[in-house]
Amino acid sequence: MALGLNSRPSCFTHYFWWHATYTNIGRNCQVIGLAAICWAIWKLRDRACFEKKLIRSPVETICLACSFLKYWPGLQGGDDDTRLCIGADILQREALKHHPAQARLDLARIQGRNPDERC
């Protein structure tokens, strides 16, 4: 949605082809982005299975993946660190734009306040 495309990858090979065709994201950032999404899915799945916490929205997965993307750039060299942070911000803004109610709840939880309060 953020890129304005109506297709999405269905396997790892297609993922890398899709990025090469539709974006100008370097291979290193592609791998890190994929790792962040997979890790976010894994962590939320574990929390759902072992802590019995519901995954309320796909936005939760995207926001967790973005937090990894914002944390990991320090491990990268060159311009990749900046690209990852910018990409994470864009991705998170786009996800939150499509789910304003979820965004308000998540922001309140992150800020440690009651979600019914106004900012």
Whether residue 63 lies inside any domain: the answer is yes
**What is the reported pLDDT for 1?**
52
30, 14 Cβ separation under 8 angstroms: no
Domain count, the chain: 1
Whether residue 26 lies inside any domain: the answer is yes
Q: Please identify every stretch of the chain with a pLDDT value under 70, giving residue numbers as ranges.
A: 1-6, 76-78, 101-103, 106-107, 110-119
Whether residue 86 lies inside any domain: the answer is yes
Q: What is the pLDDT of residues 19-45, one digit of tens each?
A: 777 777 777 778 888 889 899 999 999
**Residue 33 burial (CB < 10 Å; 0-12/13-18/19+)?**
buried
**What is the reported pLDDT for 42?**
95
Whether residue 32 lies inside any domain: the answer is yes
Whether residue 11 lies inside any domain: the answer is no
Whether residue 3 lies inside any domain: the answer is no
Whether residue 41 lies inside any domain: the answer is yes
Domain span at residue 93?
A: 20-111
Distances (CA, A) of 91 to 28, 46, 49, 112: 17, 23, 27, 23
**What is the reported pLDDT for 117?**
46
